[in-house]
Structure 1
């Protein structure tokens, strides 16, 4: 049997596998189809055989290769693809109801266990899911029960009932009720255990709460060990996770589980296959024309985390993690597992340590390959940013809609404040710091889960000028409290003025159709009048009292933000917004 050389998952979650004999297997983004290219023939006149099949109807010759590729895809994909035909019998479990959500315990529950190696396990109350945080605190693994993939089909009436004479209304209702009760009692759903591996720096919102519970226990364990040996260490890891997600709720929390993809792809015409280049080129690490999400090579996993500053994260398989340091891409931090304290080692790309006999892996080769993969990702991101291919499994509901600016304010000496129609608020300070948060909680479900986690305290995302991102509580800003405090004032003011207006109904669209041109023109008229009032406002241009100002703690700027200037600007704009709305109402 051929041995895997490389496995690559692209940004659309398609998989490309290269084998040692030269054969190649490609999975579609949804996992429902695959293309297998056999090994190159010995004679140059013979053509390379290529077959294309449905995944669930694969032949026995390809079954083992396809199962390995599916396991790799489901381990790092957002939604698993689980055809019942490829799930081993010993891994199937029949349940009377579909498991679509789990209930997680509180922070002080006995469902949280600690291993001798330092790993922390959080089990759900119903036992259908569990989360294991590694001892280094930088990555975690989740195991959850998931129903096998199926297609939503409309139930058909049996043939004998269709040919029989039409019964009366009461008899038809009684028969249908009996049939539904019998089918419900006899129905059994096939489930299997799905194992996924996530980075603590970037993960799905479903695991935010159990991860916060595990992180709180991890930090408490570190604090106890540090006190025992007389060492005082910080609560967070520089460049690593944001540990401000300590759960405050003492009650259990329910979270939805990732749903499987359907058996049949709704858009098979969007499946794209790569010929002549792909996984077989990755040993040389040539630049790829597509964004890469995960690369597997010789038991080491390289994960690309996108954003303003891309980051590559390496999982070595022994519980340790190597991660690039943001804009300082030539430096890598090695987080080693330890049950007591965090052991961190910084490597420089041009001064890597030499290989020693008996090492499980080579630090030099791993860091060098990670750096080259990160360079390929940056090149692909700049070349494909304007043209993003469509993905078959991403439904229309999951595509982010273009949000319009419903309110904008420019405060002298502070920055730019914006409120968008999708319920988010963006604040850009003059020193480059950006804050994003929710001003309207009545927004689509994906927005609420992204910023508030669905439970617990309200959160905001803060982005530093160097690209580092921190998820902070609105009430507890920590070292960035002054940024968060100003953003909180803007959020409260927008909520009071926009949510209280009776004619504001853009945050709850009644249809899926885009905003018409009349609404766009109305918004543009508001923005023009609003900017005119700001430019001619004497309050914003007046000098502020130095005794009532405070300075932002930043290494990149010495700008001053005044509390009174923001408050006066918001109060002044309240009257302007009311006048504009009254004027527009009269015109209509």
Structure 2
């Protein structure tokens, strides 16, 4: 199995991987399809086209399973919504849970429950239900979140069809009541009603026993596995400067707790965030509930829109810039153990993580006039 040389994540969440033997893999933005291009043999004619294999991710054969799994792990670590195929997730990574986990509740601002400061200086914030936690390292440039997520599901065509058939009747009732109910709200009400019926027909179970599957089982009847959901832990990496909305509140808790522990220990607080970030995060007070990201569907409704254009960025010359074959902006690049994160929001910036715990961060427009170097081992910053 060839090792990866470079992995690129684009703004549309598509992935391109290059291997040491010259083969390449491309993952669609939704994650439901992939294209593997085999390396041409040495005796191949220069005009001979390489062999390409296109498959659905959920039905990948064993030949490409390991490579596809690593590409998906890279995608899910930086993409907004993960793609979680049950057929690829190892058995030890699956958890059968009898409740619907769609949101988590975090500790309040005036409480220190679920907050831990480790010996390395990393701050860990855990949700009250134990379904998610956030880790902020001492450098405060990047943070990671771990949360339980339901695996990707098949599109439920029966629900969609019944909703379309009853749309006219429901719209008339809604007009009489003076309310307008969207399709998404009606679907959510159906799910809540089904969940309510399921919970009333069973013995109440503790959330902790549902997740761990060990405590509180004695004396309870075996639940119907038909109504269980398969979850898995998802790990995502985010830059502190571009924090998603659902993680702003726990990030604010981590920043507050880190500053509190630093002041208690008599260490000068090293604030690296700009004023805009600090004000945005501080305004998240009171938003103690975070809606967790949902996994994408197993199949894509528009597979004909997938682009399969490989870009050989390793050999891209100056003269090739006008004919760049992939129009999407680059979000994350992994190259031989070094991670490059690019941001294209208010101002183009780049963060470089060599893998030894240090961080290079660009300062200024056009990806920086200079770089700020932060060494976690020494806990100091140097400008070069």
With normalisation by structure 1, the TM-score equals 0.50
Partner of residue 54, structure 2:
52
For residues 339 and 276 of structure 2, the distance between their equivalents in structure 1, rounded to whole angstroms, comes to: 19
Superposition CA RMSD, Å = 2.9
Specify the structure having the higher radius of gyration (Cα). Answer: 1
Deviations along 1:358-407, whole A, 9 cap, x unmatched? xxxxxxxxxxxxxxxxxxxxxxxxxxxxxxxxxxxxxxxxxxxxxxxxxx
Cα deviation, 1:414-450, whole Å, max 9, x if unaligned, reads xxxxxxxxxxxxxxxxxxxxxxxxxxxxxxxxxxxxx
Contact 2:155–2:298 (Cα < 8 Å) also in 1: no
Please give the secondary structure, in 2, of the residue aligned with 1:70: helix
Q: Which residue of 2 aligns with 1:217?
A: 257
Q: How does 1:96-107 map to 2 (within 5 A)?
A: 96-107=98-109
Q: Judge which range, 284-293 or 24-33, deviates more.
A: 284-293
**Unaligned residue ranges in structure 2 (runs of 5+):** 160-196, 203-222
Query: Which of 100, 125, 130 is the matching residue for 1:127?
Result: 130
Deviations 1:68-94 (A, max 9, x none): 000000000000000100010000000
Query: What is the rounded CA distance, in whole Å, between the counterparts of 2:336 and 2:317 in structure 1?
Result: 11
Are 2:63 and 1:61 equivalent residues in the alignment?
yes
The equivalent position to 2:380 in structure 1, one of 328, 343, 346, is 343
1:294–1:301 CA contact under 8 A, matched in 2: yes
Once the two structures are superposed, residues 295-323 of structure 1 have per-residue CA deviations (whole angstroms, 9 ceiling, x without a partner) of 00111110111124200111232333211
2:3 aligns to what?
3
Question: Do structure 1's residue 301 and structure 2's residue 339 form an aligned pair?
Answer: yes
Q: Which residues in structure 2 correspond to 1:19-30 (within 5 Å)?
A: 19-30=19-30
Mapped partners of 1:98, 1:238: distance in 2: 36
Aligned 8 A contact 1:117 1:338 in 2: no
2:364 maps to what in 1?
Answer: 326
Counting matched residue pairs gives: 317
**Greater displacement, 215-224 / 116-125:** 215-224
The structure 1 segments of at least 4 consecutive aligned residues displaced by more than 6 Å after TM superposition are 182-185, 282-286
In the aligned structure 1, how far is the partner of 2:336 from the partner of 2:69? 19
2:152 maps to what in 1? Answer: 149
When residues 284 and 73 of structure 1 are mapped into structure 2, their CA distance, relative to the original with a 3 A threshold, is: farther
The C-alpha deviation readout for 1:185-220, integer Å capped at 9, x for no partner, is 841100000010000000211100000000111222
Q: Which residues of 2 match residues 411-560 of structure 1 at below 5 A?
A: none
Contact preservation (8 Å) 2:154, 2:297: yes
SS of the equivalent of 1:262 reads coil
Q: Normalization by structure 2: what TM-score?
A: 0.75
Name the residue aligned to 1:278. Answer: 312
Alpha-carbon shift at residue 240 of structure 1 (Å): 8.5
1:111 and 2:114 matched:
yes
Shift of 1:283: 10
For 2:346 and 2:227, how far apart are their aligned partners in 1?
48
Distance in 2 between the 1:115 and 1:126 partners? 21
Preserved CA contact (<8 Å) 1:129 1:145? yes
CA offset at residue 278 of structure 1?
Answer: 3.3
Relative to structure 1, the CA distance from residue 285 to residue 213 in structure 2 (aligned partners, 3 Å threshold; closer, same or farther) is farther
Partners of 1:127 and 1:284 lie apart in 2 by: 51
User: 1:2-21 deviations in whole A, cap 9, x for unaligned?
Assistant: 01010011111110000000
User: Distance between the aligned counterparts of 1:103 and 1:189, measured in 2?
Assistant: 20
Q: Per the alignment, in what secondary structure is the counterpart of residue 73 of structure 2?
A: helix
Offset, 1:239: 5.2
Q: What is the deviation of 1:154?
A: 4.6
